Structure 1
């Protein structure tokens, strides 16, 4: 029955009371409870303190490296001192591993070396957020301290800190962060062009990430040596074309048979590519949202703005935030038509009956919902299958339209 309209095919279903069974709660130590509370409070702080809960993987990586360097866990050559890092992390994470869901974290120094090497050497997309939460709590103690550092992050500021650590007592080479950034770029050009250092060696000497140095070099028009074995010229040209067309990084990486990290580096180091890619992605998203919105209001004449919004919430939200003028020019026209005397369908009678059925179905749904959240249109259609076929004729069913709007939006 649930498959009749395709509703809830991909929903998560929670067990009901009849399915519950007694489980003995774990006997956690105080240390475990304290560690889990740290993870919880940090997660809440990160969500509340960021836009849409988003954190840049590049900036995360820079902050991790910066804090690790401050603790003396990076060698003069820029390598991680994993033999010092790993035991410290194992000691930190041990209380959390008493929780069964967190036992994927390393239990030994050897395993920690592998995990930390993957997390700290290169920015990785798609890493489980809990791994980042653990690293943040380990290095920064709590989310607020980390967010302060995250908001203040600037490659030039980090560069100044690194230079100060390397040359205590020296004066900053510029008064402003922008001047410091520019000085760092000029120093990079000197190291690469005059001294012949590789990009990685120059970046290590400056105290910034290799990808950051490559991005600076690209902005200055310097020749950036590439690794043909990782992204050969023909594959690179094809990847750039796909990115300019707005394809997502994952599909481009699969087509090029390289890692997603390689595509991220390409976006950062190819002059103008990242901006062009974001523009193409925005154009695609706008086109998709506009098409969904137009299809909705064209297939359901007279639907009204409230019900159209309920039927296409994602498209409406995107257009409202990003294409407001277009949305205002393409709002549905709510105007009920009155059928002629010779009409073979008694629309008025059908409207009364269907509106009553909608009200009854909505009442039954609300009585069964434990969370008391507002209804969604698919839920109403699942409860009242005959309603789906009538959505195209809501301009003839004003009472039904208002009943649906009240059910979905509480108006």
Structure 2
């Protein structure tokens, strides 16, 4: 894998820290800005909503820009949003900075995904995607717990300043390592031709499954601190370690997905999806005891990202011919889930169902993904048989 792909992963790490760090900062933000826990949790949804809208729009805008120019522009906008977020005393302004940061992050990921896939061998799209997603999971391992620790020591604003500082070496890395050619890989990109590819039914199914699985992940992850402190009896001082544990699991999941998704995607999705649904149910049933909660934080992090990264790789394979918009729509679909998940989890908590309720919502979302995948498979099999009655495929 070219070294430039790993440097793109470094930039994704800095941005991933910002996307995920709110899981450990929600209580502090709620206290400081005088808002409820669900309202503070909706900052994650605001970021994800910006990703949903921004991914296709910023990807379209970047089609004619050089890779380097597009990536640097997105990173600078991301940095500025965090400086404003660290300074503002207003909840509404903070929500706005999250949306702006998400727009910039969405554009960066779309171009970075296209660049990584163009630099990787043709049969290694899964590995290229896993390197970028590895930056996200390393954010869970190091960046997010670090942000939570900063929040405990000096307040949540210090975590925002830390993200801004972490973007400086990322800017230098992009400037030094990313080629200056088109984001499309050298030939002028056609928005119309790329959009035409995105109408394929198989691609749409993978986008739907990705949104549901990621919704389940973010539903619980956003409220992981209240779940563990309120239900499992784990002290708040242990939250950085628990978030790091989830991050270790997610890094393991991305690694597994990167190694297996190029060759055995269907077995990984079927077995991993079933285990993921069962794990959320088990977590909900045993959340009152710290020992199983600790184990399941690691297990569910692994399964969530193994399945999720495999779905991303399948989007890239299904959308050959639309490299930039494929990554953009994968980003948008996964952030539809990241918007819906925290909203559903917050609604369940707000309805008085307790801090275990996001775990049940996560189980339901993965169950829905399994059902949707089965229906799509059976429908596709029926179409193939109708087209060729002699086929047994």
TM-score, length basis structure 1: 0.26
If asked which structure has higher relative contact order (CA below 8 Å, sep 6+), I would say 2
Greater share of helix: 2
Instruction: Please identify the structure whose Cα radius of gyration is greater.
Output: 1
TM-score, length basis structure 2: 0.27
